[in-house]
Copies of this chain bind each other. A is one copy, B any other.
Amino acid sequence: MAQRDQTQQETAAPPTLGIGMVGYAFMGAAHSQGWRTAGHVFDLPMRPALAAVCGRDRAAVEAAAGRHGWAAAETDWRALIARDDVHLVDICTPGDSHAEIAVAALEAGKHVLCEKPLANTVAEAEAMAAAARRAAARGRSAFVGFNYRRVPALAHARRLIGDGRLGALRHVRAVYLQDWLTDPASPLTWRLDKDRAGSGALGDLGAHVVDLAQYLAGEPLVAVSALTETFVRERPRPAGPSGGLGGGAAAGGTGPVTVDDAAAFTGRLASGALASFEVTRMAAGRKNALRLEINGERGSLAFDLERLNELSFHDHTEPAATAGFRRVLVTEPEHPYLEAWWPPGHTLGYEHTFVHQARDVVCAIAGGTPDVPTFADGLQVQRVLAAVEESAAKNSVLTPVTL
């Protein structure tokens, strides 16, 4: 293996960017890994410091702080925001608390990174975007965690499309298939509660594919037609409390599922390209199958998150005798983010998207211009999801996406 050149001198220590994270369950663990690692891999203009983590249960949040490397623990997110050593608030809670925490943090002069979906309603997302605009005037940034944009293969796909390698786009098709609700006995967690989660597969998985479709195509969806479905309408209540801010249903009996299990929708992009989407948590055997394909007049791209180091690329300008989808192993130094990692062929995983997100957020705050999605992007995706729900409620009629 070619050795990495380690000879560059590091001179003056970069300034610190103190992070305060709210929530420490799955997303919190992933974000922690991102903040801990980014500075060891990338040359960053600021050094992220894991200042404090926040959760409601004192013992649990202290344990999480120890586990994930946070210097302090808080049990009140307002106290977290108030800390001087916190410069960026990272919101990893369920969607029902995003707006309140984000707006308060921005008003307190903090930068914010908020998990997707940005909010549970368009109204909340609009309020957040408005707060972000006000904060921008004071030099504060507000980002939304569409981490899959930082999968190197997808960042590379965006480059290829931006370079015109696909020509005029004809089709975008995307599915995001999981199977953890296949079993009707799977418990009723907060993710199945509309009040907490906003929606089901649509907000959790649909937000990702809608964002990616628009990001890769470089243009918005203008209208959608949708079907949604809840196949299993009652599920057993879970026995114990769940972690962090996510938690705490009472045990025993069954309760109603108030979100969608699945959604299938079609749409048109601004250019006239056709789009089709399907998201579900009941595709037995599909664990994390976010699959995208984009067809253009000059070529096509395909991707599967379960094989996230690979991008399939078909160059339609090649002679037919040797044309075909290429399996590009996106591990070359020429590929986005890869120069900082391992030699060609040495693959990355899911969590690297959070390392890349940490890098991009730090660079953006330090004045660079990486392509980091903002609250405005989160709001626009929220509007697409709202149009999906509206169409599903109106017999699938093609429904425009609010500009």
Q: Which residues in A have some Cβ–Cβ distance to B below 8 Å?
A: 1-10, 24-26, 29-30, 32-33, 36-37, 40, 57, 59-60, 63-64, 66-69, 156, 160, 165-166, 170-171, 173, 175, 177-180, 182-184, 189, 191, 204, 225-227, 229, 231, 241-244, 246-247, 262, 264-268, 272, 274-276, 278, 280, 282-289, 293, 295-300, 305-309, 313-316, 319-329, 331-335, 342-352, 391, 395-398
Known: A324-B328, A335-B321. A265 touches B262 (CB 8 A): no
Report yes or no: A284 in contact with B299, Cβ–Cβ below 8 A: yes
Partner pick for A225 among B3, B36, B225, CB 8 A cutoff: B225
Report yes or no: B243 in contact with A264, Cβ–Cβ below 8 A: no
Chain B residues with CB under 8 Å of A229's CB are 272, 274
Chain B's closest residue to A167 (CB) is: B284
Question: How far in angstroms is the closest Cβ of chain B from A13?
Answer: 8
Known: A3-B242, A274-B262. A300 touches B283 (CB 8 A): yes
Report yes or no: B284 in contact with A316, Cβ–Cβ below 8 A: yes
Report yes or no: B285 in contact with A299, Cβ–Cβ below 8 A: yes
Best-surrounded residue of A25, A37, A342, A349 (most CB of chain B within 10 A): A349
Partner pick for A324 among B26, B326, B342, B351, CB 8 A cutoff: B326
Known: A283-B300, A350-B346. A9 touches B306 (CB 8 A): no
Report yes or no: B284 in contact with A227, Cβ–Cβ below 8 A: no
The docked-state distance in angstroms from the alpha carbon of A64 to that of B173 is 41
Report yes or no: B5 in contact with A243, Cβ–Cβ below 8 A: yes
Report yes or no: A6 in contact with B345, Cβ–Cβ below 8 A: no
Report yes or no: A296 in contact with B324, Cβ–Cβ below 8 A: no
Report yes or no: A282 in contact with B266, Cβ–Cβ below 8 A: no
Best-surrounded residue of A64, A308, A314 (most CB of chain B within 10 A): A314
Chain B residues with CB under 8 Å of A287's CB are 329, 331, 344-345
Report yes or no: A189 in contact with B3, Cβ–Cβ below 8 A: yes
Report yes or no: A33 in contact with B37, Cβ–Cβ below 8 A: yes
Partner pick for A69 among B40, B170, B231, CB 8 A cutoff: B40
Chain B residues with CB under 8 Å of A265's CB are 266
Chain B's closest residue to A7 (CB) is: B60
